[in-house]
Each structure stands twice: as C-alpha cells, then as structure tokens.
Amino acid sequence: MNVVVCVKQIPDPAAPPSLDPGTNNLIRAGKLILDDSDAYGVEMALQLVDKAGEGEVTLVSMTPNGETSGLRTALAMGAAKAILISDDSLAGTDALGTAKVLAAAIKRAEPDLILAATESTDGYTGTTPVQIAEILGLPSVTFAKKVEIDGGSLKVERQTEAGYDEVESPLPALVTVTAGVVEPRYPSFKGIMAAKSKPVETLTIADLGIDAGQVGAIGARQEITDVSASEERASGEIVVDEGDAHQRVIQFLEQLKVL
C-alpha cells in the first residue's frame, strides 16, 4: 500500500500575509510551513499504511524556492520520503499548472492511492486535486471523511450537506480529505531527528519533462485581476433580557431558518 500525499508549504498564517502588488499573488518568499489542512491527509495516509501492514507514505510538493521545512514536519510525523519540485520558473503558477507538475511527479511514485486536502489554506481554489486526477486519468473522490481500503478497492464516506455518501472506487484513485476527520499526531522529538535523514528528492520541471512555458506566470491561464478587502462583519445584536429574551432569540433563529 503506497500512498502519495500532496502537501503544500505555505507562509505561516500566524504572520501577517502580503500580496505582490503587480500580480496580486501571495508573497511566498520567506520561510514556509506545512499547511495545517494537509496534516489530516498525512495522518490518514500513515493510518492506512499502518493498517495495510506494508508500504509507505510519500509526500509530493512544489515550491519555487526550494524550501523543505514544511516537508520535514510531515516527514517527522512518519512519512518515508518526499519529492519536491523546485524551480525558479514555477513562480506564479496557477492551479492547473500546479496540477500538471504534481501529476508528473506523482506518476513517478506509482502510488496505490493519492490523498490531498480539499483546499489549501493560502490559495483556496480547491481545484488542484481533481485536476491532478483528470490529468492522470484516475477516479477522484472529494470531501472524504472516512477512507477504507478493502483489497483492491476503496471505500469512502463522502461528506455532503445533508449527511454522507458511501462511495466505492477502484484503485489507484485520488481522494481529498476534509479537515478535522482524523487527529494528526504530533511529531515526536525522535521523529524530527529521524526526518533529517529521510530522502527528499528535489526535481526541476525539466526532470519531469515539463516545458517552462506551461508553468509559472507565463503558463498561467488564470489571472487575479483585482483584490478587495472583505466587508467587515457587522456587529452582533445584544439581547437584553426583559423577560422575553428567549422569545426574541427564537425569533432570531427562525429568521435564520435554523429552527
């Protein structure tokens, strides 16, 4: 059971982000960390490999600046190795370009299963995983809250607004995992030390046979034309109890159609 997890290294959300005024892209020049939403995929992959009793977890990631500290966090959790595609020409790559690069790298790893987060915390397009599946010609199952491998097939409970769908699919397949469905383990100190000697294969797009014209700002078919501040949330309504507060709260909830 070999599982590839797509992980993204992002600027630390705790630090104030800034946008490139020319491209409206998030500036990702500094130190990058593992996207929290990817920790769920890593955890799920480790559990699936544990359960299968054989195989390993491989991380696949892409960044223009060669940063590996986010990958090392996931390696410290227990992933066996990582493939990092790092190339100056990747700066400004859109979601489809990213999918092409990741798909080419994933193909080399020949996984039984590919896991990804439903969306990244910094970009939020939520489109990359399904594009990878399409490029690789694999089935994709999105919004998984539970994943089981049964022989050669995959059983997924797929989160919906009303409840969940039970989905079955042949392997290999790509599954996107929603946040919070498993409890990501904390890397132990030993895990962090061991991660230092785990292999991180760094590839350029040329190594993957991808033309520079297909990636980066040049290859991007998507352009962010404008960015505006979101509306400030209106302040809440304070209900002072004059004996009828419960009725007013019920009225309010009825207006919201939650009752």
3, 57 contact by CB (below 8 A): yes
- The verdict on 187 binding other proteins (CB under 8 A) reads yes
Minimum distance, C-beta of residue 187 to other proteins, in the bound complex (Å) = 5
Q: How far is the CB of 79 from other proteins (least distance, A)?
A: 14
According to CB under 8 A, which one of 69, 202, 222, 251 is a site residue for other proteins? 69
Residue 188 near other proteins by CB under 8 A: yes
* CB 226, min distance to other proteins, A: 29
Written in H, E and C, the secondary structure of the chain is: CCEEEECCEEECCCCCCCECCCCCCECCCCCEEECHHHHHHHHHHHHHHHHHCCCCEEEEEEECCCCCHHHHHHHHHCCCEEEEEECHHHCCCCHHHHHHHHHHHHHHHCCCEEEEECCCCCCCCCCHHHHHHHHHCCCEEEEEEEEEEECCEEEEEEECCCCEEEEEEECCEEEEECCCCCCCCCCCHHHHHHHCCCCEEEECCCCCCCCHHHCHHHHCCCCCCCCCCCCCCCCCCCCCCCCCHHHHHHHHHHHCCCC
Between 33 and 44, whose beta carbon lies closer to other proteins? 33
> To the nearest whole angstrom, how small is the minimum distance from the Cβ of residue 193 to other proteins?
7
Determine, following the binding rule CB under 8 A, whether residue 8 of this chain makes contact with other proteins. no
- Say whether residue 190 binds other proteins (CB under 8 A): yes
Positions in 109-168 near other proteins (CB under 8 A): none
Please identify, among the stretches 54-62, 68-76, 114-122, 159-167, the one whose residues bind other proteins according to the rule CB under 8 A: 68-76
Residue 82 found at the interface with other proteins (CB under 8 A): no
Among 29, 186, 250, 252, binds other proteins (CB under 8 A): 186
As a whole number of angstroms, the distance between CA 72 and CA 67 comes to 10
Q: How many residues bind other proteins (CB under 8 A)?
A: 13
The binder of other proteins chosen from 19, 27, 193, 218 (CB under 8 A)? 193
- How far apart CA 249 and CA 233 sit, in angstroms, is 20
Question: Could you say whether residue 93 binds other proteins (CB under 8 A)?
Answer: no
Query: Euclidean distance between the first and final Cα of the chain, in Å?
Result: 46
Stretch that binds other proteins, among 51-59, 116-124, 189-197, 249-257 (CB under 8 A): 189-197
196 binds other proteins (CB under 8 A): yes
Instruction: Find the binding residues for other proteins in span 20-39 (CB under 8 A).
Output: 33
| Interface residues toward other proteins, by CB under 8 A | 33, 69, 72-73, 76, 186-190, 192-193, 196
